């Protein structure tokens, strides 16, 4: 994986997919990281673990525990990250929740609001706060420009050496396969993740001219604390999803992290407004 210069911000980072993404950024050379989660002890553990393993390489971590549905907390977190590092180059909105599956008539409005506040509204609030920072900063130079500009290498038909355009920032939202297709008893969750995909596409249109890319990943059933028991058994009601996917297995959090890092990286410089499905083939079956 290519080195990722700059500053990364990851929400919902304490465990599962979020922790895998935060760790993957650091493993790929990112040395300035801001993380948040409502799980304070798990967030502290991740912070300390990253410093233990990568502190000698110059890693700096800014972490802040809090409620991602609070607009004032988001402003505090993003302001703190900017004050600490001076800029923000990558945002990954991971924070998300689910509830037991029920038909709409059996779902109280408070539960619908909770799911959508965490899964879609919080992602919008975080994106808005980070976009304001990104718009105020100079783009990172293309990694191609760091190579020998005097090189005589030419492209097809003798053209001059091609360089990727600069990037002012990248946002990757974590949606779900259930934002693309639906399943019984999940109207609130499906609505929240479909909203994330729609927001991703709209922001991609709005900020392309500002050299900011906005994409999302749509994971399928991935082995996390939300989907499996402490014994590794798939939670009731989810086993059928594993059988539907042609690959016939659950995903690993690191497989989702790989896709997030690709979308964040220069390798995805022409990828904009994309909803990348990472589900073992669930939605095609």
Burial of 119: CB neighbours in 10 Å, binned 0-12, 13-18, 19+: buried
Told to judge if 207 belongs to the known catalytic residues of this protein, a careful annotator would answer: no
Q: How far apart are CA 58 and CA 145, in angstroms?
A: 24
Told to judge if 209 belongs to the known catalytic residues of this protein, a careful annotator would answer: no
Q: Is the dihedral of CA 215, 256, 268, 2 positive or negative?
A: positive
Contacts of 149 (CB under 8 A, 6+ apart): none
Q: Angle 109-116/187-207 helices, nearest 10 degrees?
A: 30
Select which of 90, 193, 207, 282 is catalytic: 193
Q: Give the CA distances from residue 100 to residues 97, 107, 110, 187, 222, in Å, rounded to whole numbers and listed in that order.
A: 11, 10, 14, 11, 17
Select which of 90, 189, 207, 282 is catalytic: 189
Q: Known catalytic residues? A: 189, 193
């Amino acid at each position: 994986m290519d080195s990722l210069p700059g500053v990364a911000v990851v929400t919902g980072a304490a465990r599962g997919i979020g922790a895998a993404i935060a760790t993957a950024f650091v493993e790929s050379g990112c040395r300035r990281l801001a993380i948040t989660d409502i799980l304070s002890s798990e967030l502290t553990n991740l912070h300390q673990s990253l410093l233990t393993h990568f502190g000698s390489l110059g890693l700096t971590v800014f972490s802040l525990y809090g409620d991602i549905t609070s607009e004032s907390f988001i402003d505090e977190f993003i302001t703190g990250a900017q004050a600490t590092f001076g800029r923000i180059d990558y945002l990954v909105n991971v924070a998300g929740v689910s509830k037991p599956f029920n038909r709409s008539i059996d779902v109280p409005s408070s539960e619908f609001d909770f799911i959508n506040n965490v899964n879609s509204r919080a992602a919008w609030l975080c994106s808005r706060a980070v976009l304001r920072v990104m718009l105020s900063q100079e783009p990172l130079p293309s990694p191609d420009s760091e190579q020998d500009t005097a090189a005589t290498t030419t492209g097809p038909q003798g053209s001059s050496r091609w360089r990727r355009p600069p990037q002012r920032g990248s946002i990757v939202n974590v949606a779900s396969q259930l934002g693309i297709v639906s399943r019984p008893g999940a109207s609130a969750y499906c609505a929240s993740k479909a909203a994330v995909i729609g927001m991703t596409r709209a922001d991609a249109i709005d900020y392309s001219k500002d050299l900011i890319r906005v994409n999302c990943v749509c994971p399928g059933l991935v082995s996390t604390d939300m989907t499996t028991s402490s014994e590794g058994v798939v939670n009731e009601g989810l086993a059928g999803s594993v059988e539907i996917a042609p690959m016939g297995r659950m995903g690993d959090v690191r497989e989702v992290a790989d896709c997030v890092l690709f979308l964040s990286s220069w390798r995805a410089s022409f990828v904009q407004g994309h909803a990348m499905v990472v589900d073992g083939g669930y939605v095609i079956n």
